[in-house]
Amino acid sequence: MSQEAPSAGPRPPLLFYCQHSVGLGHLIRSLALARGLAERFEVVFASGGPLPPGLEAPPGVELIGLPPLGHDDSYRLISRDPRWTVDEAMRARTEQLQATFDALAPRVVLVELFPFGRKKFSFELLPLLERARSAPQRPLVVCSLRDILVGSRRDQRKHDQRACDLANRYLDAVLVHADPRFARLEESFQPATPLRVPVHYTGFVRDGGGRLGPPPRRFQRMLVSAGGGLVGEPLLRAAVAAQPELLATDGLTTTVVAGPFLPEPAWQWLQRAARRQPGLEAHRYLPDLAAEMAASRLSLSQCGYNTAMDILAAGTPAVVVPFAEGREDEQTVRARRLERLGVLGVVESGELDAGSLLAAARRMLRQPTPAPDLDLDGQAATARLMAELLGEQAAGPGVVGAA
C-alpha cells in the first residue's frame, strides 16, 4: 500500500456498526478500535446491544444506541428493552441505520462480524450494505473480525458459503484482528468457493495496545472476572466455593468482578457471600481489568477475546474456563492455543467445580508465565490500515487491496 488518506483537513466520516448479543467482548473491542480510528476519521458508532451503565463513547466518537436486541438461550432474537417488541425494534433499527447513513454520507462503512456471523441481523445489514453499494459516492465497506470464528454450526459449510458470497458481493476488505502466527481466517472459515476480498491482519486489539509494565504493587489475590456477566454465574459460584481453601492453604484472597449483566439474583447471592466469607470481595465493575490482573497473583476468567488480550498484556498466571454452551467453540480453541504457549491453564466447563479450579490454580502458580511474541498493536494498526485503504480507493477502481 502506497497512498494514505491526508491527515490535514476534515476527517472522513466513518460509520461503525457493532452488535453484541451475549457478552461485552464485541462491544469493548469495537470501542477500542473506534478510539484509534477517531484520530483519523469522524466516527459514528451504532451499537445494537444493551449499553452497560456508565459506558461512555471514546473522545471524538458519536455513540448511537439502536433499540437493543440480543439472543436468548435458544439463539432466538429477543428485545433487551421492554419498550420495544422484537418486530418494533427491527423496524426502528433498520430505519435508524438508513437515516444515519444518509445524514453522515460516510466514506467508510465498518461492520463488525457480518457476514461471517450475525445472520439474524441480516434484516438491517443487507439494506445498509445495498445502500452503500448504490450510493453516488460509494464508501469503502470493510468487515472487522476477531481472531477465531465459531466453527461448530450444524450447517457450517452452508453458513461459510453464504458468508463468502455476501462478502464477495459487498465488501472491499476484511480486517482480522489477530497475529497471523496465532490464528488465520482460513482455519475457522472454509467456504467451497474462494473468498475474493483482500484479508488484512492487524495484530490483536487491546485498548492502549502493548503489554503492561510491572505493577506498582502485586496483591496476594486471585482476580475473578466474568466478562459482561450474563453467562458467568457458574464460574463465579465455583470460584466462591474454592475461595476458603485458596485463602487457607495458598494465602490468596479473592476479588470477583461480576460484570454489569450478571442477573440481579446472582449478584445478590455474591454480595451475601462476600459479607460472609473472609477474604472475598465483590464488584460489579472495575475500570481497568488488565491493570487489576497485573496487580494480582492469579487470574481466573472465561476466555473471550478481550479477556485473553488482558491476560497477555498483564503477564499474570491465569486459569480460564472457556464458555462452550450451545454451538460456541471459539473460546475453547483460543484457550487451548494459549495453553500450548504456556500462558494459561484450562478447565473445561463440564469439569468446573471448586476442586478442578484449585488444582489448575496451583499448577499455574508453580510455573513461570512466558510472554509470547504476539502482536498486540492492532488498535493503532487498524487506524493506519483503514486510512491507507481509503486512500487506495480514492486512487481509482481496482486499487483497494493491491500489494
Range of the domain at 319: 219-366
Give the mean model confidence (pLDDT) for residues 182-193.
96
Rounded Cα–Cα distance for residues 46 and 57 (Å): 11
pLDDT 10s digits, 160-183:
999 999 999 999 999 999 999 999
Rounded Cα–Cα distance for residues 69 and 121 (Å): 9
Cα→Cα distances 213→174, 314, 373, Å: 32, 8, 15
Are 237 and 344 in a shared domain?
A: yes
Are 353 and 390 in a shared domain?
A: no
Are 57 and 134 in a shared domain?
A: yes
Are 39 and 113 in a shared domain?
A: yes
What pLDDT is stored for residue 403 in this prediction? Answer: 35
What pLDDT is stored for residue 186 in this prediction? Answer: 96
1 falls within a domain: no
pLDDT 10s digits, 237-293:
999 999 999 999 999 999 999 999 899 999 999 999 999 999 999 999 998 899 999
288 falls within a domain: yes
Contact assessment for residue 151 and residue 121, using Cβ atoms and an 8 Å cutoff: no
What pLDDT is stored for residue 158 in this prediction? Answer: 94
Are 163 and 236 in a shared domain?
A: no
Sign for the CA dihedral angle at 214, 215, 216, 220 comes to: negative
What is the CA angle 150-151-157, rounded to 5? Answer: 125
Picking from 193, 186, 126, the residue whose alpha carbon sits closest to that of residue 164 is 193
Are 359 and 270 in a shared domain?
A: yes
What pLDDT is stored for residue 3 in this prediction? Answer: 37
DSSP 139: P
Are 100 and 78 in a shared domain?
A: yes
The single residue listed with the C-alpha cell 494465602 is 251
Q: Edge-to-edge strand order for the sheet containing 344-346?
A: 280-283, 253-257, 219-225, 296-301, 318-320, 344-346
pLDDT 10s digits, 288-321:
899 999 999 999 999 999 999 999 999 999 999 9
214 falls within a domain: no
150 falls within a domain: yes
pLDDT 10s digits, 53-99:
778 899 999 999 999 998 876 778 999 999 999 999 999 999 999 99
Reported confidence tier of residue 4, pLDDT bands at 50, 70, 90: very low
Q: What is the percent of the chain where pLDDT is above 70? A: 95
Rounded Cα–Cα distance for residues 342 and 121 (Å): 38
400 falls within a domain: no
Name the grid cell of 337. 492455543
2 falls within a domain: no
70 falls within a domain: yes
pLDDT at 402 over 70: no
What pLDDT is stored for residue 396 in this prediction? Answer: 66
pLDDT at 1 over 50: no
403 falls within a domain: no
What pLDDT is stored for residue 307 in this prediction? Answer: 95
Helix (H, G, I), strand (E, B) or coil at 242: helix
CATH number for the domain harbouring residue 351: 3.40.50.2000
Q: Provide the whole-model pTM.
A: 0.92
What pLDDT is stored for residue 22 in this prediction? Answer: 72
What pLDDT is stored for residue 6 in this prediction? Answer: 40
Rounded Cα–Cα distance for residues 398 and 103 (Å): 28
Looking at the structure of the chain, the number of domains it has is: 2
Are 156 and 247 in a shared domain?
A: no
| Neighbouring-strand partners of residue 282 | 256
Q: Count the neighbouring beta carbons within 10 Å of the beta carbon of residue 282.
A: 21
Compute the mean pLDDT over every residue in the chain, rounded to the nearest whole number: 92
